[in-house]
Amino acid sequence: MADLTESTSADSRTPILELDGIGVWLSGREILHDVKFEVRPGELVGLIGSNGAGKTTIFRVILGLLTPSSGRVLIVGGPRPRRNRSVGYVPQKIALDPDMPLRSRDLVALGLDGHKLGVSLPSRRRREMVDEMLHAVDAMPFANARVGSLSGGEQQRVMIAHALISRPKLLLLDEPLANLDLRSEQEVVELLAEIAKEHGVAVLISAHDLNPVLPVVDRVVYVAHGHVASGTTDEVVTTDVLSQLYGHNVDVIRLHGRILVVAGPSPRADPALMEQLGRLSNPVDDTVAV
Amino acid sequence: MGGFWSHVVEPGFFQSQTVQVALLVGGVVAAISAVVGVLTVLRGQSFAGHALGDISATGGSGAFLLSINPLFGFLGMGLAAAGCMEAIGVRRVRGRDVATGIVLGAALGVAALFLYFDTTFHSTSGAAITVLFGSLFVVSSSTVPAIIACASGALVVVLVLYRPLLLSSVGDDVAAARGVPVRVIGGLFILTMAVTVALSAITIGAILSTALLIGPAATALRMTRRPVTATATAVAIGVAATWVGCLLAYDSFYWPPVNHGWPVSFCIVALVFVFYLAVDLVRSFRLRRTNLPADKSNGAVVRAHPLDTLSTGIEAASASGSE
């Protein structure tokens, strides 16, 4: 695989990304409360939470698209510069129709110079860098296909190449596994682990399901109702921590290496009803984040 | 052959000053419309482009009322509307459509009023036809420098902002993450679109300006996979349709009804549409042929063909099914 990063001279203990007491208020509602976590070089961290928990807001804050009401974001130990090429971003979906004339290699090249003014002139070096990156993410077979016509997993690879070609120190992926079939899911997860481990890139991925990323994440940041808990999976994904995070009784069940998080009985509920629910022993409807 | 060509190009075509102005203005406007049009389609702003054309009719009819050059009416109203749309519109695509619709409705109401005044008080009964459907043959040669200046300005903006515009067509968040000031870029683009549409409105009429903006671009997008070649193809199609349209309109003087030429705008728009249909037919024919063996093989072979197959649902289903 091609070398994806410049030799990182930075101390490996310096966090690449550091969120410190981030609070966000939007139209009178508190969206994030005292969000605090960090990602170090070579680490793959999962930002886990159900839809609406605040994952996307956290991403927008990190990308500088949203100014937090309180707290600060540090990237490589400093404030985020206005034009920061040290962060690569892969959105959940891209807005291109199947017959739009933009090839995979065009999109990857835009990762290199898409922010620059003027028209790019053909350059051998640029072409080689694009080829190298397409190779690295195993996207060569569809390098000349229109991006809009590719499958979800293929688009994901092309977008990862787009984000990585500027050699960022931090890679952010918003729900990279959503809309992927099981095989593509596995391949993307392995690719991300490789990028983090072999090339020292700090990778932060958001997911609503913990299990597909469980084998590869070093740590998790669990988000619920705008509050977060971070640490290793064993530290965070426990009945005590998650119950406190949700403000509701939550059961964490470990089963064949998978983790199920299900709503526990509510103390406020009608005891007779709870008894009935307990007898049904079917937690599907009460699942809060699996 | 000489006899044949003298029927295709009727005598006096290239000598007529009206035709010379028409060919120059038509060529320049078709070219810039195609360049801006490709980006408009890529960015999913076709509706805004069409709306700007309709809205500029208000400016054109206002210009008739004030007896000023209609180009400045088209331009002024188009730019004002683009500014309004940008100011009202939130950044989401859906919000953009709503903002476009509101401004469009309001402007067309004013256009109705202006055209009414034009016909009642100015006894310029041709105003409505000229504003809405235009005629390349009535563009005065004194307007030519202004048209070329506007087109050059629009071209410079598009060339300078080309890469950020392309990147934000993939997604505003993707571009913003790369440090592109998407709001500023988007605002400049919609203003450029307004200028282009104003030029196109004076060429083939406010209502028909969409045809020159979107038509050649949409045809080119079906023929190529690269943004640069798509732009070049669109320019070629647009300019060819405009020039041949001029020729047909000139020749039509000898067609029935004899001694009444057909509207040049109709000829141009008809050619743009015919060309689109032809390309679409050829494309779907070739797709059908190439997909016969592909059905028996795996999806990779389907994808390896230069023509992407996913735009037709059946082929897409069979390709993903065999993967």
pLDDT tens column, B279-303: 989 888 887 776 654 433 333 333 3
In a domain, B312, yes or no: no
Residue A205 sits in the same domain as residue A254: no
Residue A139 sits in the same domain as residue A226: yes
Residue of B201, B229, B231, B207 lying closest to B217 (CA atoms): B231
Q: Indicate the pTM of the whole model.
A: 0.81
Task: Choose the mutation target among A67, A102, A155 for the interface with B, i.e. most B CBs under 10 Å.
Answer: A102
Which A residues 80-119 touch B at CB under 8 Å? Answer: 82-85, 87-89, 91, 93-103, 106-107, 110-111, 113-119
In a domain, B17, yes or no: yes
Structural domain containing residue B211: 2-294
Q: What is the mean pLDDT of chain A?
A: 82
CATH number at residue B75: 1.10.3470.10
| CA distance linking residue B77 with residue B55, whole number of Å | 7
Number of structural domains chain B divides into: 1
Q: What is the mean pLDDT of residues A181-207?
A: 88
pLDDT on residue A237: 85
Residue A50 sits in the same domain as residue A92: yes
In a domain, B109, yes or no: yes
A142 touches B at CB < 8 Å: yes
Residue A51 sits in the same domain as residue A176: yes
Residue A146 sits in the same domain as residue A211: yes
pLDDT on residue B127: 74
User: DSSP of B48-78, one letter per residue?
Assistant: HHHHHHHHHHHHHHHHHHHTS-HHHHHHHHH
Burial class of A240 by CB neighbour count within 10 A (0 to 12, 13 to 18, 19+)? exposed
ipTM score here? 0.77
pLDDT on residue A246: 80
Residue of A164, A63, A74, A153 lying closest to A111 (CA atoms): A164
Residue type, A132: E
Structural domain containing residue A271: 248-290
Look at residues A214, A237, A260 and tell me which one is the last residue of a structural domain.
A237
Residue A147 sits in the same domain as residue A219: yes
- Name, in order, each residue with C-beta under 8 angstroms of A182's C-beta and a sequence gap of 6 or more: none
pLDDT tens by residue, B5-41: 676 777 777 788 888 899 999 999 999 999 999 999 9
- Name, in order, each residue with C-beta under 8 angstroms of A255's C-beta and a sequence gap of 6 or more: none
Residue A126 sits in the same domain as residue A37: yes
Number of structural domains chain A divides into: 2
What is the least distance, in Å, from the CA of A141 to any CA of chain B? Answer: 8
pLDDT on residue B99: 79
Residue A61 sits in the same domain as residue A185: yes
Residue B196: pLDDT above 90?
Answer: yes
In a domain, A59, yes or no: yes
